[in-house]
Amino acid sequence: MPSYAMAVQDVRGAPRDEVMHGTRAVDAAGHAMKLVLVNMSASGLMARCEGSPKAGDSLRIQLPIVGDVDAVVRWSLGGRIGCELRQVLPLSDYYGMLSVMIRHA
């Protein structure tokens, strides 16, 4: 009999890179919150957050190299959020950003 873990599939479109990077985000109402980015791809991220954003909320997230990016919260659970970036990051910028995050981890 298959286990629940085997039945759950990862349906994200892109593999994620593990990071541990502290940053900030601002919601649509202008409220700032601290984030710790846990993993990233050029099109999305998962983070631990200080605030309580809900699915559908818009955030402006500060990233090294690329600056502020717009994202939409896709899920929120127990102080963690999953976000989709409104625009996919160019790979050259993404890999530059990753190198900064890893160097400062």
pLDDT in tens, 24-72: 999 999 999 999 999 999 999 999 998 889 999 999 999 999 999 999 9
Q: 96 versus 105: which is more confidently predicted?
A: 96
Dist. CA 44–CA 41, nearest whole Å: 5
Give the alpha-carbon dihedral of 43, 8, 55, 84, to 10 degrees: 0
User: Please, what is the average pLDDT of the chain?
Assistant: 89
Encoded tokens for 19: 């990071």
Dist. CA 86–CA 21, nearest whole Å: 20
The 8-class DSSP code of residue 53 comes to -
- Give the position of tokens 């990753």: 98
